[in-house]
Amino acid sequence: MLLRDRTAIVTGASSGIGRGVAIELAREGANVVIADIQEAPKQGKYHDQDVTTPTAEECAVLGAKSFFVKTDTASEADMANLIDETVTAYGGLDILVSNAGIHIPGSSQDLLVSDWDRVMGINLRGIFLGTKFAIPHLVKSDKGRIINIASVHAFHGGAGPAYAPAKAAIVNLTKDTACEVGKQGVTVNAICPGYIETPIQDYLTEEDIQACKDKTPLPRLGVPRDIGRACVFLASDDAEWITGVALPVDGGWLAPIW
């Protein structure tokens, strides 16, 4: 097991990408704390229609220690509590996967300012808060890792005036944090998923989804496990000299010039 006895937090881990990440970390022997606004997994219109078991239970089936902490990642108090509960339970923290994110469709003219603030709060502020409160514990670990989940939309427009800018900022925050904690042995990296089959895609039409598949060079869309295995690699000893990178895990989405 690549992560035996290491302690990880995964935000937004009840459903979708976060759930897939948590399960793969557990498969490799990590203790996994599940942070989300609700414990029950979301069922999507197109994907994960039959997912019902809480993520912590799935991790326990794999032999991992795991529990759920109700967390609004945009809340300073919630994020501080999440770190405190984890350290109290397991005596430290080795891995933080900041995954929680939302998407509210709309142009600059359609999107409410309150919706823009909410997207930025969860997608960017939450990652800063996790970073801020986790670093004092990660620097005490000789395996300290931060993995931020960004998006291929970090590199291009097209996902609206809140989502894409927030994801671009995550990539920059990742690089800045890597510089901040590198001398203390903590690595900080981002993963930029392409289309992943999760309930967050419910706002799309079937035609939109087919268009995404057509634009993906590899012959399928992504699944949460694809991101989970990338997280396992970046959290493992095999990646101990990799920091400050933004790794696309996108089936080749970014490769062509369209």
Residue pLDDT, tens place only, 91-112: 999 999 999 999 999 999 999 9
Average of per-residue pLDDT across 170-178: 98
Per cent of the chain over pLDDT 90 is 91
- How far apart CA 53 and CA 135 sit, in angstroms, is 31
Q: Write the DSSP symbol of residue 28.
A: T
**The predicted structure's pLDDT at residue 113:** 97
Distance in Å from the first CA to the final CA of the chain: 41
Q: What is the pTM of this model?
A: 0.96
- How far apart CA 125 and CA 137 sit, in angstroms, is 20
- How far apart CA 14 and CA 160 sit, in angstroms, is 25
Q: Which residues contact 161 (CB under 8 A, 6 or more apart)?
A: 106, 107, 108, 111, 116
Residue pLDDT, tens place only, 219-248: 999 999 999 999 999 999 999 999 999 999
Known catalytic membership, residue 46: no
Q: Which CATH class is domain 7-249?
A: alpha beta
Catalytic residue among 90, 163, 195, 203: 163
